[in-house]
Structure 1
Amino acid sequence: MSSAAQSPPATVSGASYAAAAVTMAHYKAADSKREQFRRYLEKSGVLDTLTKVLVALYEEPEKPNSALDFLKHHLGAATPENPEIELLRLELAEMKEKYEAIVEENKKLKTKVNVLKEFMLKIISPLMIKKSKTSLKWIVGEGGG
């Protein structure tokens, strides 16, 4: 055996113990801050959301070229909506329904107008042909009456 292996262990001075205690306290404080931050992320749903997005990326059959873009896209979709945006979406949906109803009503009214035009041509035109051409012009709107 060598002499170095047989030498007694080095004694640690009081200053070394103090430094070790300060270092341990620093690590405990850092651990405590990390733990608080982890709990904060857990309570706010960040850990759950990140886990879901990462699982979705893992389960993706064809991995995207940019994993970061995948995360950004899916995290953007997972964020809670601004209440104003939700109100605007509801208003847009209502406006689309009203628009569709008006388009449908317009189609019906156009059909009625066409039916009335045919009625005018079939019923009133033969009567007007018997009368003078000026009367016909007045009815159609060409004359001034």
Structure 2
Amino acid sequence: MSKRPALYAAAGAAALLMLSGPAVTAHAAPSESVTVDPTGRLAADGTVTLSGTYRCADSSGPVFVSSSVGQSSDGARHGIGGTRAVCDGAEHSWQNTGKATPNDLAPGIAHVEATLMELRPDTGLPLPRFHAVHQQDVTLTQI
């Protein structure tokens, strides 16, 4: 029996926990980073595409680049996908696509947070280890 569905469920739960809680501070090693491109895409149906780069050196469990976006003054954010990361020390591109609640996002300035997170199997239950976090404002363009 494959452990992959359970692993992805754990990754999703960890990402939701991360998005629902207060901002997480990660102190990245110099060899670890995540960036966000200055422009994101917004489709008429609410589909958002965000992208950037990441770099990580090593891991003992699966690593993901997760992202969230928001425009409201109350700090509400929408989780926008997750990409499996390869930790080999090289810089890689990431791109996440997800659908926000219709009419919650509009073309213009939005705040994005990208997180490079590993699910470490140290205790038998995969627990998150944050490799890097980056926040910045981007411009959402209508496509």
Higher share in helix: 1
Q: What range is the shorter-chain TM-score in?
A: under 0.3
Higher share in strand: 2
Q: Pick 1 or 2: higher relative contact order, CA cutoff 8 A, min separation 6.
A: 2
Q: Normalization by structure 1: what TM-score? A: 0.19
Q: Normalization by structure 2: what TM-score? A: 0.19
| Structure of greater Rg | 1
